Amino acid sequence: MRMSPLRVLLALSLFTAPLALALAEEAGLPVATAQVSQARSYALSQQFAGLVESAQQSTLAFTTSAPLAAMAVDAGDFVTQGQTLARLDDRELAAALSSARAAQRLAEAEHTAQRALADLAVTKAERAEALFKRQQLAEQAFDEARLAAAAEQARERVAKARAQQASAQAEEAAVRLSRAVLQAPYDGYVSERHVDEGSLLAPGAPVLTLVSAGALEARIGLPPALLSSLDSGASYALTVEGTTYPASLLQILPQLDPTARTATARFRFSTPTPGVRAGQLVELTLDRTINEAGFWVPLTALAEANRGLWSLFLAVPNGAGGYSAQRSLVEILHSTTSAAFVRGDLVSGDRVVQSGVGRLVPGQALRITQP
């Protein structure tokens, strides 16, 4: 009986399939490997966020109580040093100054009059002394003249002290009047306006908040363990809204943040920062070298194991000219988007299976398709 071609092909396939499978198993599962070598360290780049702040920021206030008569600026305005920002109703202060100056003039006149009386009494005492020495004046009269001169001199000193006191009070009134005008202590921007015209202000009540237009700085919280790696003479990269600026380390504040448990580091921008304003977010990039030996392996070569460890497979020679899978546990020290720096039971020259580790079992035959 003659077989059809279809039956022949079917019979051949049934015969050759087990043979092909056996040959494939003998050749091993095709895998791509990466040959690793030990590195003594790895580079670590970390980012930390903070805020841009003005190098100077002041809350301006009046030192006396009076109604606010005029406000010359508003939030967002740029001001220059010495510019008038606000003014109090100074009528009472001006009247107080006039009264103090009148009292000063009166005290000075009284002092002048008392000084003349003291000079006259001293002159009489000197004449009495001359007469007493010539025995032309009784001792009692001489004593009376001498004591009268001392009394007038004492009154002159009292009058002088009163004149000085009146002068100081007049000067104090003049200072109070001068402080009825609020002026900018430096060039900057008004960041906040706290009161409006007509408000009765108490001494020290906030009126305006001013931030310097000069150099800006950044305050960034850092883990205490990183502080020893900072160098005041080094240059650091600060990024604001996608633009990177060089900066230098100014200071590390001595106290930790009680909430975040971080240390605040102050950095000053080293170059002009057009467009950067106080209050913006800033990011510090720290590049460090970690002196820890290990191996770089692809992330796709790793599978999660127990107790925080990871597993990978090595393609090891099987003694018959081929390779077999050997499972190895490693610890991840650092990772990037495509690779991990690990330590474990590895040596330079090991071949790490790059991917597909989920289908491997220890001892499985492998065929390397890529060195």
Question: For 195-247, what is each residue's pLDDT tens digit?
Answer: 999 999 999 999 999 988 777 889 999 999 888 888 888 899 999 999 999 99
Measured between alpha carbons, how far is 164 from 172 in angstroms, rounded to an integer?
12
Distance CA 355, CA 29 (A): 12
Same-fold call for 25-40+293-370 versus 46-55+214-289:
no
| Mean pLDDT in residue range 75-80 | 90
Name the residue type at position 106.
L
- Report the pLDDT averaged over residues 84-101: 93
- Candidate from 154-158, 195-199, 271-275 with smallest mean pLDDT: 271-275
Q: How far is Cα 327 from Cα 360, in angstroms, rounded to an integer?
A: 9
pLDDT digits (tens, 9 = 90+) for 25-41: 456 899 999 999 999 99
Determine the distance from the C-alpha atom of residue 218 to the mean position of all C-alpha atoms in its chain, rounded to a whole number. 5
**Percent of the chain residues past pLDDT 70, beyond the cut:** 92
Q: What are phi and psi of 210, to 5 degrees?
A: -120, 135
Residue 251 has pLDDT above 50, yes or no: yes
DSSP letters for 335-355? E-SSEEEEEES--TT-EEE-S
> pLDDT digits over 122-141, tens only?
999 899 889 988 888 888 98
* Euclidean distance between CA atoms 352 and 346, whole angstroms: 10
Question: What pLDDT, on the 0 to 100 scale, is given for residue 312?
Answer: 95
Domain 46-55+214-289 has CATH 3.40.30.10: no
* Model pLDDT, residue 48: 93
CA dist 76 and 206 (Å) reads: 17
Say what the pLDDT of residue 26 is.
53
| CA-based radius of gyration for the chain | 46
Distance between CA atoms of residues 34 and 315, nearest Å: 10
What span, in angstroms and rounded, lies between the C-alpha atoms of 109 and 107? 5
pTM of the model: 0.54
Q: CATH classification of 25-40+293-370, choosing from 2.40.420.20, 3.50.50.60, 3.30.470.10, 3.10.270.10?
A: 2.40.420.20
Q: What is the pLDDT of residue 278?
A: 81
**Per-residue pLDDT tens over the stretch 309-349:** 999 999 999 888 889 999 999 999 999 999 999 999 999 99
The pLDDT of residue 3 is above 70? no
What's the pLDDT at 4?
44
At how many degrees (to 10) do helices 139-178 and 91-133 cross? 160
Which tokens go with 227?
């502080």
Higher pLDDT, 213 or 254: 254
Q: Stretch 243-268: mean pLDDT, rounded? A: 90
What phi-psi label fits residue 306: left (phi over 0), alpha (psi between -120 and 50 degrees) or beta?
A: beta
pLDDT digits (tens, 9 = 90+) for 350-370: 999 999 888 999 999 999 986
Domain ranges in the chain are 25-40+293-370, 46-55+214-289, 91-179
- Which structure tokens are listed for 257? 């943040």
Query: For 294-322, what is the mean pLDDT?
Result: 92
pLDDT for the residue numbered 371: 60
